[in-house]
Amino acid sequence: MELFCFDDDVGPGLPLWMPNGTVLIEELEKLAKETEFAAGYDRVRTPHLARENMYLTSGHLPYYAESMFPPMELYAEGDKQLSVDRSERDITESDKSLRDSFEKMIPELKAGIRDPQEFVRAFKKLPPELQNGLVDNVALVRLFASLKWAEVNEPERYYLKAMNCPHHHKIFGAVPRSYRDLPLRLAEYGTCYRYEQSGELFGLMRVRSMQMNDAHIYCTEEQFEAEFNAVNEMYLKYFKIFGIDKYLMRFSTHDPAKLGQKFVDQPELWKKTEEMVRNVLVKSGINFVEVPNEAAFYGPKIDVQVWSAIGREFTIATNQVDFAVPSRFGLVYKDRDNTEKTPLCIHRAPLGTHERFIGFLIEHYAGNFPLWLSPVQVRVLPLGDEEPLVEYARGIQAELRAAGIRAEIDATNNNIKGKVLQAEQAKVHTMLVVGNRDLEAGNVSVRIHGQGNLGAKPRAEVIADIIQSAKERRA
């Protein structure tokens, strides 16, 4: 269906969305934006990268470092990169060759090592293949003396964002907040970049760039249950629209034995938030299982698993509670009693990422998308190429397009069998066949992909029904 492609020059795991795929993306975004607007979300837009410091604050560095792309290092103008002094000094030939191989290691050995001992320590931490079999500390110290570290400042490091949260936290913190501002719900279809091992890349299911149906809800403890419940309701609403009958919420909790390592060391907050999430799940009667030791480092989370129409399981979305990071960012609001309090944060992404969700939808619908999602919703097929008939067909197309329906016309001189075949192969949702008899009666003959011929009906009625079906996002 020409939805997306990959290209070696762009890079593995970086999908390019073609026009048909972009239709799907924009329909999903339209759905998300309408739904979120109605639920009181505000939209924001943030850049795709940020300084290292932000991820140190958020804790993504070091907790999440291996999933992030390596940093871009920026030197201020006039700064020099670290280099080896190539001027000849009083060193032996063997030291010279060591020095040559050593140059390759320099990127690994950050700037600023000026003390021989520090140098030896840093050297020993290099991967063995870079150590070149050099184990003798005396030789290492001699080598160090033969090097001249150019005067440079530390470069500034920027990272592609692996998550949108830190950027949103900065927006929360950009102006003073009071309890009257809460809950504050910041939404963005944000593009994130994650460094998946190339062996783990898999079609749309595992990629390195992803557009996420993201939002962060900042709320008080008292507001938490209602907010969390509203998020779950939103999931259920989406499941209904997409005809997802089978789903499961995996509620991941912490392991007290791993506090301070895998999980932030705040036992009371873990207990409290896990209890709150459990309450919401039980009260709302949602289908869930509890899984210990799989929470995010900053709080309990829910992974949403859904089953496609042919019964395959997909993890499409997560829902996380965060009681740790807002305080690391110094986020506060002024409460009724004039004291400053830290909000809770709910991370939620009901439609997951476009990449994964569309991967799921392709299988779920076996490529036969409902009208509202179909890249080509309607194609008008005139039975001949006489001017009045083509004119009639163009009028129908124009009326549909004016109402926002993706309608085409097949004005080629193929016979009708050929036109229908082509439209069926392209998975066009609705075919409107028009002949002279239809023209005279003001009718169109409706044919639905996969359902066949539904017969002739009044043009106005058919057009109104198509517009209504798309608007209602009928299955």
Which one-letter amino acid corresponds to residue 245?
A: D
Cα–Cα distance between 396 and 108 in angstroms, integer?
66
Number of residues engaging Zn ion in binding (CB under 5 A) = 2
Centre a 10 Å sphere on the Cβ of residue 326 and count the other Cβ atoms it contains: 22
Supply the minimum distance, in Å, between the C-beta of residue 170 and Zn ion.
13
Cα–Cα distance between 422 and 67 in angstroms, integer?
44
Supply the minimum distance, in Å, between the C-beta of residue 216 and Zn ion.
6
Considering only 169, 185, 347, 364, the residue that binds Zn ion (CB under 5 A) is 347
Burial class (CB in 10 A: 0-12, 13-18, 19+), 268: exposed
Q: How far is CA 144 from CA 52, 108, 110, 116, 152, in A?
A: 29, 15, 14, 6, 17
Supply the minimum distance, in Å, between the C-beta of residue 39 and Zn ion.
17
Among the residue ranges 68-76, 108-116, 342-350, 433-441, the one whose residues contact Zn ion (CB under 5 A): 342-350
For the chain, helix, strand, coil in percent to 5 are: 40, 25, 35
Residue 13 or 326 with smaller CB distance to Zn ion? 326
Residue 165 or 219 with smaller CB distance to Zn ion? 165
Characterize 425-443 residue by residue with b for buried, 16 or more Cβ atoms within 10 angstroms of its Cβ, and e for exposed. ebbbbbbbbbbeebbeeeb
Residue 322, token pair as written in the block: 């965060």
Supply the minimum distance, in Å, between the C-beta of residue 347 and Zn ion.
3
Residue 318 or 397 with smaller CB distance to Zn ion? 318
Residue 56 or 76 with smaller CB distance to Zn ion? 56
Q: By CB under 5 A, what part of segment 426-455 binds Zn ion?
A: none
Cα–Cα distance between 418 and 199 in angstroms, integer?
43
Residue 187 or 281 with smaller CB distance to Zn ion? 187
Supply the minimum distance, in Å, between the C-beta of residue 165 and Zn ion.
3
Q: By CB under 5 A, what part of segment 154-173 binds Zn ion?
A: 165
Among the residue ranges 142-150, 221-229, 345-353, 431-439, the one whose residues contact Zn ion (CB under 5 A): 345-353
Residue 295 or 362 with smaller CB distance to Zn ion? 295
Supply the minimum distance, in Å, between the C-beta of residue 344 and Zn ion.
13
- Answer whether 429's CB lies under 8 Å from 376's CB: yes
The DSSP result for 190-230, as a single string, is EEEE----GGG-BTTTB-SEEEEEEEEEEE-HHHHHHHHHH
Residue 315 or 436 with smaller CB distance to Zn ion? 315
Cα–Cα distance between 467 and 431 in angstroms, integer?
14
Residue 165 or 444 with smaller CB distance to Zn ion? 165
Rounded to a whole number of angstroms, the distance between the first and last alpha carbons of the chain is 20
183 preceded by cis ω (within 30°)?
yes
Interaction between residue 249 and Zn ion (CB under 5 A): no
Among the residue ranges 6-14, 192-200, 340-348, 393-401, the one whose residues contact Zn ion (CB under 5 A): 340-348
Supply the minimum distance, in Å, between the C-beta of residue 21 and Zn ion.
25
Name the residues that contact Zn ion, by CB under 5 A. Answer: 165, 347
